[in-house]
């Protein structure tokens, strides 16, 4: 029986030495799909290379000085040249990369995602004009996320730190893995049915792109688009940008930032209100002083001081105009009356019946005036009109 005994560091060192001295693990090519890629300002590049069954950590130190592209993205298929080593501090083995060659195609998930993005873009899902405004003070906040994850704790803690009186309603949903998108969709739809909910946060903490992929699914995008409540998408970290971010009314880099964007600081609001109160009071005071000065100036105004005399003068002028108008109307009425009497006399003179008053009479036969005796025959019935009556007679 082998009784050799190692410390952890000794074992890790021994494994590292074994890996690095084995020619099979030096300067070999490895193909796979990139995920969790991060370019650091220090000049180092870290990512995971995977296939359908497994994954391995990779690092390219000082990548700028090696044959390494500077625009690699998660989902791209690549071929790398590297060697295996072990990081003694945690016993994790990885591939140290010297070269990376793109295969110029996205992974299958990204191909499908790009197709979905183009489809939803044509339908107007990303249109900024339809984005709903976030409430100024969201008294009731709905959250769709894991009920036990760090995201919900960050949202609750940040919200109550900024404004302790707000209410948070959590819909605990599965946010990664099989059918996670269906639970997220159901959470959005459920919170939409609650009238008192002012706004909804959906999201989760960081993770691999595979962990976050539920937020790239059609079901989640459609639920966000159809939501009557404004929605903030807060998934992963700053570098993560998902389909839910494009459709949502607002995007936050992290769940904590979602609460910071949504919830104002109560103390800041109170301070701003106090400042505005003082400003309004000062403005009113200044306005009042100006009005007082203006009033005093108006009191000394010649027109105001002599307003009574002005009214008297205007009244006298008006009385004079009234007298002239009455005289004009009286003269005009007399002229009209004189013209009327003349016209009346003329009409009376032309009236055949006016001669009756002077002793004349009018004789009619069958309603017609008789001007000659030749028009009369024996037995005719005549009507003679006098000034004070009529006489019926028969010709014999």
pLDDT along the chain (396 residues), means of 10: 82 91 92 92 93 92 86 87 92 92 68 90 95 94 92 93 92 92 97 96 86 93 97 82 94 93 85 86 89 79 70 79 83 86 76 69 82 81 81 84
What's the CA gap between 46 and 44, in Å, rounded?
7
Co-location of 67 and 147 in the same domain: no
Of 168, 114, 116, 173, the residue nearest 139 (C-alpha) = 168
**Number of separate domains in the chain:** 4
Give the DSSP letter string of 251-272.
EESSHHHHHHHHS--HHHHHHH
Q: Which are the contacts of 346, defined by CB distance < 8 A and separation ≥ 6? A: none
Indicate whether 118 belongs to any domain: no
Supply the pLDDT for residue 159: 93
The answer on 319 and 383 residing in a single domain is no
pLDDT at 116: 94
Residues 28 and 146 in one domain: no
Task: Please report whether residue 273 resides in a domain.
Answer: no
Question: Looking at residue 94, what is its pLDDT?
Answer: 94
Look at residues 213, 244, 264 and tell me which one is the last residue of a structural domain. Answer: 264
How far is 147 from 175, CA to CA, in rounded Å? 10
| Separation of CA 245 from chain center | 18
Same domain, 146 and 165: yes
pLDDT of the residue at 240: 64
User: Can you read off the two tokens belonging to residue 197?
Assistant: 């909910």
167 and 251, same structural domain? yes
| Nearest-angstrom CA–CA distance, 224 and 187 | 11
- pLDDT of res. 140: 96
Q: Residue 312: which domain range?
A: 304-348
Compute the distance between CA of residue 261 and CA of residue 256 in angstroms, rounded to an integer: 9
Q: Specify the pTM.
A: 0.50
Assess whether 154 and 93 both reside in one domain: no
27 close to 99: Cβ distance less than 8 angstroms? no
User: What's the confidence (pLDDT) of residue 295?
Assistant: 80
The whole-number pLDDT of residue 322 equals 79
């Amino acid at each position: 029986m082998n009784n050799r005994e190692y410390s952890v560091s000794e074992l890790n060192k021994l494994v590292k030495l074994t890996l690095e001295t084995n020619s099979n693990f030096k300067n070999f090519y490895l193909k796979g799909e990139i995920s969790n890629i991060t370019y650091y300002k220090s000049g180092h590049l870290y990512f995971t290379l995977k296939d359908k069954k497994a994954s391995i950590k990779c690092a390219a130190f000082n990548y700028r000085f090696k044959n390494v592209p500077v625009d690699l993205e998660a989902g791209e298929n690549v071929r790398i040249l590297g060697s295996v080593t072990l990081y003694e501090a945690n016993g994790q083995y990885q591939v140290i990369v010297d070269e990376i060659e793109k295969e110029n195609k996205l992974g299958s998930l990204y191909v499908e995602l790009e197709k979905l993005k183009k489809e939803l873009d044509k339908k107007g899902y990303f249109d900024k004009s339809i984005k709903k405004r976030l409430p100024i003070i969201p008294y009731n906040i709905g959250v769709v996320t894991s009920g036990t994850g760090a995201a919900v704790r960050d949202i609750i803690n940040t919200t109550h730190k900024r404004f302790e009186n707000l209410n948070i309603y959590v819909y605990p949903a599965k946010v990664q893995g099989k059918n996670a998108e269906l639970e997220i969709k159901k959470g959005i739809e459920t919170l939409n049915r609650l009238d008192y909910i002012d706004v909804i946060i959906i999201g989760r903490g960081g993770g691999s792109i595979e962990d976050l992929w539920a937020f790239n699914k059609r079901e989640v995008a459609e639920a966000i688009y159809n939501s009557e409540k404004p929605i903030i998408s807060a998934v992963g970290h700053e570098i993560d940008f998902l389909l839910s971010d494009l459709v949502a009314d607002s995007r936050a880099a992290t769940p904590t930032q979602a609460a910071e964007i949504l919830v104002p600081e109560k103390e800041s609001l109170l301070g701003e209100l106090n400042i505005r109160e003082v400003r309004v009071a000062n403005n009113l005071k200044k306005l009042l002083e100006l009005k007082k000065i203006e009033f005093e100036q108006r009191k000394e105004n010649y027109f105001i001081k002599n307003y009574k005399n002005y009214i008297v003068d205007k009244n006298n002028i008006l009385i004079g105009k009234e007298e002239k108008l009455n005289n004009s109307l009286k003269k005009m009425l007399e002229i009209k009356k004189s013209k009327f009497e003349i016209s009346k006399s003329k009409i009376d003179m032309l009236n055949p019946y006016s001669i009756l008053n002077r002793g004349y009479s009018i004789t009619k036969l069958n309603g017609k005036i008789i001007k000659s005796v030749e028009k009369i025959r024996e037995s005719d019935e005549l009507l003679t009109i006098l000034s004070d009556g009529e006489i019926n007679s028969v010709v014999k």
